[in-house]
Every structure is written in structure tokens, then in C-alpha cells.
């Protein structure tokens, strides 16, 4: 699992670039599973390691309750990607990803709603700050995807191109 904040941010950036390529090809209205499979293909093409449908065990009072959840994608054993194709993201969707972050101890997650005209409108980045003495989980609002030009530049690059992002998102 990555721990360096710069490396985590770069991984997040590259993953968003892959999602943009999927959205450009498939557009809005496609269900979650095809978007997840297409995103997995893009991650592979960009030589980014991932696992699909990763089980998340729930422990209650020291006893395992079995597999309660499955992560859509776990990227580089660090970044959780939750794929949606809904009219709009709600607090329930964010809470789902927040739960995944808490249960797994992963540092960051992307909630990506592919059912939007511009994918930048459907991306939410969430961080797990529990190990830094801060709140257990916090939404990154000031670093949310606000610059379509910067992300479009990355999305148009070759999938295996690991160049540095053009500045902060």
C-alpha cells in the first residue's frame, strides 16, 4: 500500500484519467458493471495494478461476521474506486465509500458516477485521515476535480504514459 501523499495523489490522478477515457468512449447511461470492466481495461492498459470485487470482512467485537461488502476496484492496494451510474450521487453513496475506507484502512477513495454529461461532475475524492490524528474521514472539497482542461489533457495521453500531472487538480 502506498503511503506517500504525492504518490497517492498521482495514482488518483492517473485513475481519473482512465475513467475519463472510459466515459469518452461509452458516455453516460451505461450501467455500473460495463463501466467497471472498461475501467479495469484502461487501468491494465496504463499498467496500473488493480483487483476487482475485493471482499471486505466485517469484524464485530473481535468476531468476523463474514464478507459484508465488495469493493468495485482496489487500485495498487491503496485506492478504492466505487463505480456508480445513477442520476446523482447522494450521501448514501459517500457513506458507502467512507465505510469501505474505515473498514479497510485504505487512505483514499474515488466515487465515480459515470451517468453524467461531464465526468468531472461525477467524481468525488474521499480521504481517510484516521491515522493522522484528524477526523476519521474527510471529503476533499478544495481538491475535487474542477479543471476539465487538466484532466482532458491527461485523458488524451497514451494509456501507458506515466508523465507527471500538469499541476494540482
23-80 pLDDT tens trace: 999 999 999 999 999 999 999 999 999 999 999 988 889 888 887 799 999 999 999 9
Report the distance separating Cα 106 and Cα 49, nearest Å: 16
C-alpha cell at 97: 465509500
β pairing state of 123-127 and 108-113: antiparallel
State the pLDDT at residue 157. 55
* pLDDT-derived band at 2, boundaries 50, 70, 90: confident
Q: Is the separation of the CB atoms in 21 and 48 below 8 Å? A: no
State the pLDDT at residue 129. 78
State the pLDDT at residue 149. 52
85's CB contacts (< 8 A; 6+ apart) are: 28, 29, 30, 31, 32, 35, 113, 114, 115
- pLDDT higher at 92 or 153: 92
Q: Per 3-state DSSP, what percentage of the chain is helix, strand, and coil (rounded to 5)?
A: 40, 25, 35
State the pLDDT at residue 7. 93
Is 169 a residue whose pLDDT tops 60?
Answer: no
Which range, 32-41, 99-108, 125-134, 142-151, is most confident? 32-41
Amino acid at each position: 500500500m502506498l503511503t506517500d501523499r504525492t504518490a497517492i495523489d498521482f495514482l488518483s490522478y492517473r485513475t481519473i484519467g482512465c475513467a475519463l477515457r472510459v466515459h469518452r468512449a461509452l458516455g453516460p447511461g451505461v450501467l455500473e458493471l460495463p463501466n467497471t470492466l472498461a475501467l479495469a481495461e484502461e487501468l491494465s492498459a496504463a499498467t496500473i495494478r488493480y483487483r476487482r470485487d475485493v471482499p471486505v470482512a466485517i469484524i464485530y467485537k473481535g468476531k468476523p461476521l463474514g464478507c459484508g461488502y465488495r469493493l468495485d476496484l482496489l487500485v495498487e492496494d491503496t485506492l478504492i474506486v466505487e463505480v456508480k451510474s445513477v442520476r446523482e450521487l447522494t450521501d448514501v453513496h459517500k457513506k458507502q465509500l467512507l465505510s469501505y475506507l474505515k473498514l479497510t484502512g485504505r487512505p483514499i477513495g474515488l466515487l465515480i458516477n459515470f451517468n453524467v454529461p461531464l465526468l468531472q461532475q461525477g467524481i468525488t475524492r474521499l480521504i481517510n485521515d484516521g491515522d493522522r490524528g484528524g477526523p476519521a474521514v474527510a471529503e476533499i472539497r478544495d481538491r475535487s476535480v474542477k479543471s476539465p482542461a487538466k484532466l482532458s489533457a491527461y485523458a488524451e495521453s497514451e494509456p501507458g504514459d506515466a508523465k507527471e500531472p500538469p499541476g494540482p487538480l
